[in-house]
Amino acid sequence: MINYIWSAMIIFSVITAFFTGSTDALTSAIISSASDAVSLCIRLGGTICLWGGLMEIAEKSGLTGAVCRLLSPFLKIIFPKMNMKGATAKAISMNVTANLLGLGNAATPLGLEAMKRLQSENSSKDKASSDMIKFVVMNSAAFHLIPTTVAAMRQDYGSKNPFDIMPASWVSSAFALVVGLTAATVIIRISEVIKWKK
Amino acid sequence: MEKITSYILPVITAVIVIFGFAKGLKVFDCFVTGASRGLQSAVKLLPPLMGLVVGVTMLRQSGALEVITKMLLPLAKLTGIPSDVLPLTVLSPISGSGSLTMFEQILKNFGPDSVEGRVASVIMGSTETTFYAVTVYYGSVGIRKSGCTVPAALLADMTSFIVSAMSVSVFDI
C-alpha cells in the first residue's frame, strides 16, 4: 500500500510540476527535504530519549501499572486477547494517556515503546500483527481530551473561547476511532477467513 | 482553562520523579538506562522518514496538492466541509507541519471563531498525521507489510473530517 501511495505521490508531483512550470521549486524541494528529514529525526530522537528515560522510572516505580489498571476496561474492548498485566498493555496505556492529555510530543515515543513490545510478540517480523494495525489506527485517530496545540493557536489569533471546540472534537475523534477500528477488525477477520479456507 | 494546559507537562514529569523517588528508586540511573535506548530507535527511523518527507515536500512544492484539492471540490459540497478548509483535509493525513501552516492561514484569514476557523480547529484537534504515524511506528520495528492499516486509518480520517463539519453546526459553538 505504502509503496503504491509513495510512487503515486512522486510521479504525480513531477507531472504536475511539468505542467505548472514549478520544476525549479521542485528541484529545491527534493534537495532541502533530505536535510529536513535529518533534523526531524534528531528532534524526534531527543523526545524519544527523554520519554524513554521518564518511562523507565514510571515503570520501575509501578506508576505505569496503575495507569494500565485504570485504562484496561477500555483497552480490553480493542485488544480482547491481550494480557492486561503485561508490558505491552502498560506501554499502550501510557501512549493513550499522552494522547488524551494532548501531549503529541510524548505520545509518539511512548507509542514506539509499545510497538517494540508488540513486535516481540509478533510471529512474522516483517508483517504487521492485527494488534499493531489496531494500535496504529487508534493513534492516527488520536483521541485528545485536551487539544493543547489547537487551543493555544486559537488563543493567539484572538478566539473568544479557545476551548469551545472541545465537545465537537471529542465527538469527531470518537466517530473516527470507532469507524477506523471497526474497519480494521472487519478486514482482518475477512483475510483470516480467506486464509483458513485456502 | 488556558492555564491548565501549561501545567500538564511539568506536573506529569514531577509526578513520575516523585513517585520513583518515594519508592526508593535511583531515579537518575533509571532515567539514563531508559534514555540510552531511545537513540537507537531514532537512527532506525531516518530512512523511512526521509522517504516520507521527500514525497510530501514534492507534493506541496509542485502544486500537485492544489490539483488534488480542486478535484475533490464537488465532494466537499456534498459533505458540508467548507471549501476553504478542504486543502487542510488533503494535507492533514500526510504532513503535520504542512497542516499546521495551513491551519494558521485559515485562522488568520477567517478568524478562529468563524465557521471555517471552527471546522479547521475541530479537524486539527481530532486527527493525527496518518502517514507519519504509519511510517514512524512501523519503521521503528522494521515492519514492511502494513496490511489494512492505511485504508482503515484513512477511513477514520475521512469520518473525522465529515463529523467535524457536522458537529460544528450541531453544537453551534
Q: How many domains does chain B have?
A: 1
DSSP 8-class letter at A127: B
Q: Is A34's Cβ below 8 Å from some Cβ in B?
A: yes
Smallest CA–CA distance, residue B86 to chain A, in Å, is 16
Cβ neighbours of A49 in B, within 8 Å:
35-36, 38-39, 42
Give residue B23's pLDDT band: very low, low, confident or very high (50, 70, 90). very high
Smallest CA–CA distance, residue B74 to chain A, in Å, is 21
Cβ neighbours of B142 in A, within 8 Å:
119, 125-126
Q: Is A36's Cβ below 8 Å from some Cβ in B?
A: yes
**Interface touch A136/B133, C-beta < 8 Å:** yes
The Cα B82–Cα B64 span in angstroms is 20
Query: What is the pLDDT, as a whole number, of residue A105?
Result: 78
Q: Which residue has the cell 477488525?
A: A185
Q: What's at B60, amino acid-wise?
A: R
pLDDT digits (tens, 9 = 90+) for B45-104: 888 889 999 999 999 899 898 899 999 998 888 888 999 999 999 999 988 888 988 999
- A169 phi and psi angles, rounded to 5 deg: -70, -35
Percent of chain B with pLDDT over 70: 96
What stretches in chain A show pLDDT beneath 70? Answer: none
Query: What is the pLDDT, as a whole number, of residue B1?
Result: 52
Q: Which residue has the cell 533509571?
A: B30
**Which distant-in-sequence residues (6+ apart) come within 8 Å of B7 by Cβ?**
none
Domain assignment of residue B50, yes or no: yes
Q: Is ipTM > 0.85 here? A: yes
**Interface touch A127/B143, C-beta < 8 Å:** yes
**Interface touch A136/B138, C-beta < 8 Å:** yes
The Cα B42–Cα B39 span in angstroms is 5
Residues B136/B51, Cβ–Cβ less than 8 Å: no
Question: How many contacts, defined by CB atoms under 8 Å, are there between A and B?
Answer: 370
pLDDT digits (tens, 9 = 90+) for B97-156: 889 889 999 999 999 999 999 999 999 988 889 999 999 999 989 898 988 999 999 999
The Cα B40–Cα B44 span in angstroms is 7
Instruction: Tell me how crowded residue B43 is: count the other CB atoms within 10 A of its CB.
Output: 10
Of A20, A53, A154, A193, whose CA–CA distance to B173 is shortest?
Answer: A154
Give B9 or B88, the one with higher predicted confidence: B88
**Interface touch B156/A140, C-beta < 8 Å:** yes
Query: What is the pLDDT, as a whole number, of residue B3?
Result: 62
Of B96, B54, B138, whose CA–CA distance to A6 is shortest?
Answer: B54
Of A105, A107, A80, A112, whose CA–CA distance to A95 is shortest?
Answer: A107
**Interface touch B149/A136, C-beta < 8 Å:** yes
Q: Is A64's Cβ below 8 Å from some Cβ in B?
A: no
Q: Can you read off the three cell numbers belonging to residue A178?
A: 470507532
Query: What is the pLDDT, as a whole number, of residue A187?
Result: 93
Q: How many domains does chain A have?
A: 1
**Interface touch A53/B30, C-beta < 8 Å:** yes
**Interface touch A162/B2, C-beta < 8 Å:** yes
**Interface touch A51/B55, C-beta < 8 Å:** no
Q: Is A144's Cβ below 8 Å from some Cβ in B?
A: yes
Give residue B4's pLDDT band: very low, low, confident or very high (50, 70, 90). low
User: Would the CA dihedral through B123, B128, B132, B134 be positive or negative?
Assistant: negative
Q: Is A2's Cβ below 8 Å from some Cβ in B?
A: yes
Q: Which domain holds residue B154?
A: 39-171
Q: Which domain holds residue A6?
A: 2-197
Residues B20/B30, Cβ–Cβ less than 8 Å: yes
